[in-house]
A and B are shown apart, each in its own frame.
Chain A
Amino acid sequence: MQAYTLANGDRLQGRSSQPVTILATHRIAGNHTVFNLTVEREHVHRVGYGATLVDNNRCRPNPVTKTPRTPPSFKPAPANNVTSNAVTEDQFLEDAIDSLGPGSTVGGDGQFYPADGMRRVRMTDSDLLGHNGGPPHGHFEFNGGRNLHIPLIP
């Protein structure tokens, strides 16, 4: 799989074989200098804070696996809303990864559930772009409980 084909919800292999779920991808316009890294014999290496396994050629099985996209049962509570302090998008993503933990699943566009299905991290395109009328934001939602709206600092 080529890096540009990665999409929200795709899963990579992280530290200690724990899955790492892609929560967002961004394209950077323009021409940029990039560097290719080849590891002799192994052809795989790990990158980034999460020690995500990547493959620099096709000598090994593809480390990327798709997750089931079946939404678990989850009940939002529409009259139980709270707004938190604003955070950067990076901080939101870090908090989301911590909150979801291993075994998380993708329930739909921009929706992520932990293994027990009792919470939802939501950041749909409309949320992130502020198309819902408010500022760009993300959500931490609790099954049948609070819907935490988190404004995002650009």
Chain B
Amino acid sequence: MIRPIRVVKNERSPEINFIAVDAKDGGYYLYQYEVEDQPCKWDSFYNEASELLNDIEVTWNVNIDEWPQLAEFFKHIQREKGTQ
């Protein structure tokens, strides 16, 4: 599964240029990168997808409707949950 990654800008974290999403450890990670191909600078963790999506929209000013890879990512997760 390819993690969706997105260019972002946030005044409170000007060093962050990319964010990526992953599902692990019973929740969701939001990785924050200075450089896309380098280890992430920070990671945030959410128990609920709704919390993650809210922060993507509110904190990182990303319209999730305009991030098709993210929608595909969650569809993949739903399919995996359905098969378990």
Q: Is the CB of B29 within 8 A of A132?
A: yes
Q: Is the CB of B30 within 8 A of A78?
A: yes
A107 contacts the other chain (CB 8 A): yes
Interface size on A, residues (CB 8 A): 25
Q: Is the CB of B47 within 8 A of A126?
A: no
Query: How many residue pairs, one in A and one in B, have C-beta atoms under 8 Å apart?
Result: 66
Q: Is the CB of B10 within 8 A of A79?
A: yes
Of the candidates A76, A127, A131, the one whose C-beta lies within 8 Å of that of B46 is A76
Q: Nearest residue in B to A132 (C-beta to C-beta)? A: B43
Chain B positions near chain A (C-beta within 8 angstroms): 10, 12-13, 16, 24-27, 29-32, 38-47, 51, 55, 59-60
Closest 4 CB pairs of A and B: A133-B39, A124-B25, A78-B44, A81-B42
A79-B10, A109-B25, A111-B47 known, 18 other contacts, Cβ within 8 Å: A78-B60, A79-B13, A81-B42, A108-B25, A109-B27, A110-B25, A111-B45, A124-B24, A124-B45, A126-B25, A126-B29, A132-B31, A133-B31, A133-B43, A134-B39, A147-B42, A149-B42, A149-B43
